Structure 1
Amino acid sequence: MSSGSSLQRGPIEKESYYHGFLPREDVKTVLKSNGEFLIRISEPRKGEPRSFILSVMHNIPPSVDEEAWVKHFVIKFQDNKFYIEKNAFPTIQEMVDYHLRTKDSVRDDVCLLKSLPRQTWELDHENIEIVRKLGEGAFGEVMMGKLKFRKGGKTVNVAIKQAKLSNLTKDQIKEFMGEARVMRQFNHPHVVRFYGVAATTEPLYMVMELASNGALDSYLKKNPDLSLDKKNEMILQAAWGLEYLHGKPVIHRDIAARNCLYGDNRVKISDFGLTRHGVSYQADPNKKAPIRWLATEVIRQRVFSLKTDVWAYAVMSWEIYNNGVEPYPGMMVAEVAQRVISGYRMDLPVDLHPEIKNLIGKCWAENEHERPSMADVASELQRITLIQRPDFASLEAQMKKELMMMNNSHKSHNRKSKPSKARMPKGM
């Protein structure tokens, strides 16, 4: 970003319509009506300074091409003034106020009608307090901290993934924000709770619930004397969480005990960096993959599906019954791939309920069509264990309501006068 524009960064951060490092992929999901707009910072490009961007919804005349619905304008800075095309202003705020007040178009016939305030999941850095380091994540340090809600002043303990943009590539930043985009659609007791992203300044924070016992694999290693009944409950809880995700539908693609958390006597599915929307996904065969949890079709062709998650769930169930030990103990990765393709499956505990043993056996069947759905797995485990299924619909509704109540978004900035009818965009 140019030195002049950085002088304005302090005040602009305080504007409700300033969304910081919100990427283009998120912009098109939040701007809903023509004339709705926000200000953000450009994505990093090597050797280029960052700029402020004005993003405006302008689907006039209506187009079927969603990519064309939002127009993005670089806000230029010269002679200590900000401008897009026609008029220059001492501050970005004055530029926005002028276009709202006068109805003057930004370019061609693109007009500003209503600012988009930061959403409930767009958090303020000032409401987040870092307490101590928990560990290292894919993007940087993972910290324990406290989040103060905008409304009511309530404070909760949270886990915070940090990302310093200077240390990340453009693809990594997209992956970080992509994980947040995936997580914000989830509300379930057995999926880690997502509070939001703080992206108005660096470092970026992804804020989630803090599970009291940490990662599931670590918890299992520290508590080797858990009863078989407790472990049966754990695999059922994981099944409920995965059933919920598959209902979206999304493929997690990295189900393992290390990617689940344990807190308040609940298994919670976490780590959505590899998650993809839909029911199948062709992955890049050259990218690394966690072989010990992969179904045969993924080892051979890197084709992921809901049924490959079911396989990984079976491997994770083995981990739970074996106190967090790494699957296929004593084998190198290459040997695991070869043995699994040849039909080898790990032994389950001799004292495990035969019906549960049989169910896990079906989950890692060679033919994906012979594997049950996660809904079927959950239903069978409920029947075998006699554990009652909670009323998830009401629990999810309650979680959503809490977030909305506690974290009300900023008020929008509207133009008072009635908007004029927008015309056909020229040259765009």
Structure 2
Amino acid sequence: MDLTKLSALEIATAIKAGETTSQAVTRALLERIEDREPDVDAWEYLDPDAAISAAKKLDYNPSDGLIHGVPVGVKDIIDTKGIPTTHGSPIHKENRPCVDAPCVSLVRGAGGLIMGKTVTSEFAAQRPGKTKNPHNPAHSPAGSSSGSAAAVTDYMVPVAFGTQTGGSIVRPGAFCGCIGYKPTYGDYNPLGVHDNTRSVDTLGMMSRTMADQALMRAVLTHMPYRAIQTADITKLRIGVCRTPNWELADQATQEFLLQAAGDLEAKGASIADFDLPDGFHEAIEGFDAVSGYEISRTLAYEWFNFPDLLSDNMRTNRIPNGLKVSPSEYQAGLATLGAYRRRFAASLEGWDVLITPSAPAEAPADLTTIGEPPFNRIWTGLYGPAINLPLYTGPNGLPIGLQVVGHMGQDDRFLDASDAIYKALS
């Protein structure tokens, strides 16, 4: 049994059955990391001795926790007690929080093992971290949850936290080739996660299986575990949403979306085009005003005390331009997003889910970019769940994902439908 290939659910089940131990799994993953980390650079902080020691304690103290003994990666903008949390910036290289973020506490409380901290872009914004695409190290892994997506894809850890403001869960999932799930806004408690844009920031999870998303959802909502109940594909009404940014998708991405629609229809799903309500561009403008206002004020300490340690883009563009957004413009942006959210919810009635691109194209051969979010920002701003399904391979041999979008506050139903789509197209 190759322990590195097991899902979180499989690891937890095997440990409970006495078929393996947390120590054995952790050692296997550490060996994988030692072998692959020079090429992938997924980890910002990793202490192998501490991880093995934690695994020993878990083995000696069995529990009924849902993920007892399962290693979990934590994005490096999430507070971890006594473990460096740098937010992807040299300004905070000595930062060791005195308490865990609630999401980390929930993982530990369910028996999970904190494997280490995965690389993030600077303050979960545009400057990339050191991570490379696990399929080709010359290509971008996207961001900002680059380390988490790469580590999960490359079998270094079964699951890892991501966060999304623009597209920082879905797009890294698409570029690296793993499942990236952004739940309904607020479902996973964001306290202890460094703000980018608090009004839309969403905590989520990277995995290789849909089952692990349901498992980790139970852990992070502290609700009874509900396994995915795969929807009947013939009873799903699925909208094909090109969005007004359709022309920004390359030919392969467009063809795969339309292929997915045709294949799902052949499997018995009800498929039709879905057009977003009028006001898309105004909603994006509102999103940008909100994001600019919030991130620039969030980083006031860094801006006033350590400007030379900020990236050029953050120092000369993102913060100064964000500081120009007035409170009235900010409130107008919030109102515009709120109104569009209501119109979208009304237009989605009668549909189960939408399918849309996860990213404009395959990962570019450029490690100075995290990619662009034309197929992500709107869904973050609309608060509903979104997920990347790693289904296709592009002309350069790199992953191309399919994004599924659902109703806000109906994540169980959403995961059931997404699983049906994933199985129908795999």
TM-score (norm 2): 0.27
Q: Which has the higher strand share?
A: 1
In the superposition, the TM-score normalised over structure 1's length comes to 0.27
Larger proportion of helix? 2
Larger Rg: 1
